[in-house]
């Protein structure tokens, strides 16, 4: 289908596809088994100028937006949903700086990220504070020209690998979520260390790690926005980043569909390719329809975000919810089409199914997405009266 991509956007798709096919595909199984971080692929993404797609040209980026990011992530994830997170999770950690950073903060950090010299990460989730962001326990106490951070973040994508972290901490516990603030914390800051690296079911080439703050001194110049704006920073960031997760899910689903079509054409049973069986044809038809529907929604939401639509929370949640559910259904069907081979690690759909599952969980579980969507509907309905 023609999604009215510009020539520049088509170029991004082709470039990301080339990196995925030539550089990622040959090593994806190796990285899935080892769980090592793919620094060699990060280098390839940097050399292809893909790391700064969504960063303004004045800060060394391509000058695109969420749409350009989604196009690249989708293509990369058609081959591997974990390796591509080096790019996607960096965007998540960078959006708070783009949205709320001062010009000085942007000049200091964005060029390094755009060039691929530094990865970024977003520090929100804690052992007792996932979907309930207002229950954040990490604290930030102001002392002179610094804030002293204490606490632990968990399940942080790019954790330990990133150089730049956007971190949410409580500056005034008495105010609940309105007492949270956001900070830029650099790797190597005294008092900032890393804990457990998680051994995951899927996206194994992506580093997922604890962030530990013990009397960590962060300059007050690293405050994002103002004190008490941390919850707003987090929510606005997620509005921007959820289409990226949706694009990851979309890519995984589209990749599984491609693999299923090729396998069905070559696998024979009863002296016929299984693609000639109506049962398989109907499965492929359903998979393709859902992938196209997810793509249309993801692209529409990404474009709305880039256009500056101020009320994208519900739509952003919809894109993440629908695309990730599609990814889980399509990859499950892909394994079924492959039969016994689909259950074996030497075939890619087994990994795709494992990778798809996380897209229903992180950056807000799909149950939380339904809450966001429903509240948005109710709020808009009240405005009409």
Catalytic residues: 363
Instruction: Give the residue carrying structure tokens 């992938």.
Output: 291
The full DSSP string for 148-207 is EEEEEEEEEETTTT-SEEEEEEES-GGGGGGGEEEEEEETT-TTEEEEEEP--SS-TTS-
**363 DSSP 8-state letter:** S
Give the sign of the dihedral formed by CA 98, CA 102, CA 107, CA 109.
negative
Q: CA 323, CA 350: separation in Å to the nearest integer? A: 19
Q: CA 31, CA 26: separation in Å to the nearest integer? A: 10
Q: CA 19, CA 65: separation in Å to the nearest integer? A: 20
Q: Which residues pair with 164 in a beta bridge?
A: 120, 186
**21 DSSP 8-state letter:** I
| Structure tokens given for 11 | 């170029």
Could you give the maximum distance between any two Cα atoms of the chain, in Å?
Answer: 79
If one counts every other C-beta atom within 10 angstroms of the C-beta of residue 67, the result is: 27
């Amino acid at each position: 289908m023609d999604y009215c991509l510009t020539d520049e956007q088509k170029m991004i798709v082709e470039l990301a596809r080339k990196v995925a096919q030539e550089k990622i595909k040959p090593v994806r199984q190796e990285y899935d088994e080892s769980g090592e971080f793919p620094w060699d692929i990060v280098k390839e993404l940097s050399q292809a100028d893909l790391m700064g797609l969504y960063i303004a040209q004045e800060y060394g980026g391509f000058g695109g937006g969420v749409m350009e990011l989604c196009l690249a992530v989708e293509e990369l994830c058609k081959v591997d949903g974990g390796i591509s997170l080096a790019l996607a999770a960096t965007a998540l950690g960078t959006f708070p700086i783009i949205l709320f950073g001062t010009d000085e903060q942007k000049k200091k950090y964005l060029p390094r990220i755009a060039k691929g010299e530094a990865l970024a990460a977003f520090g929100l989730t804690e052992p007792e504070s996932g979907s309930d962001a207002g229950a954040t326990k990490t604290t930030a106490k102001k002392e002179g020209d610094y804030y002293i951070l204490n606490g632990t973040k968990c399940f942080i994508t790019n954790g330990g690998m990133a150089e730049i972290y956007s971190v949410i901490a409580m500056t005034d516990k008495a105010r609940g979520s309105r007492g949270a603030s956001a900070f830029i914390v650099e790797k190597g800051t005294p008092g900032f260390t890393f804990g457990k690296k998680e051994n995951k079911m899927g996206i194994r080439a992506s580093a997922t790690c604890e962030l530990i703050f013990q009397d960590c001194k962060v300059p007050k110049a690293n405050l994002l926005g103002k004190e008490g704006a941390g919850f707003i920073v987090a929510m606005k960031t997620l509005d921007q980043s959820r289409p990226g997760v949706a694009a990851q899910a979309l890519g995984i689903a589209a990749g599984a569909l491609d693999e299923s079509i090729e396998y069905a054409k070559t696998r024979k049973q009863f002296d016929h390719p299984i693609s000639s069986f109506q049962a398989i044809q109907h499965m492929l038809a359903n998979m393709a329809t859902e992938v196209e529907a997810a793509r249309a929604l993801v692209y529409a939401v990404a474009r709305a975000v880039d256009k500056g639509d101020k009320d994208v929370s519900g739509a952003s949640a919809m894109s993440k919810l629908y695309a990730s559910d599609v990814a889980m259904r399509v990859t499950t069907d892909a394994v079924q089409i492959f039969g016994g081979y689909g259950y074996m690690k030497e075939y890619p759909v087994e990994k795709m199914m494992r990778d798809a599952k996380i897209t229903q969980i992180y950056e807000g579980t799909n149950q939380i997405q339904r809450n966001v969507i429903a509240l948005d509907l109710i709020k808009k309905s009240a405005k009409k009266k």
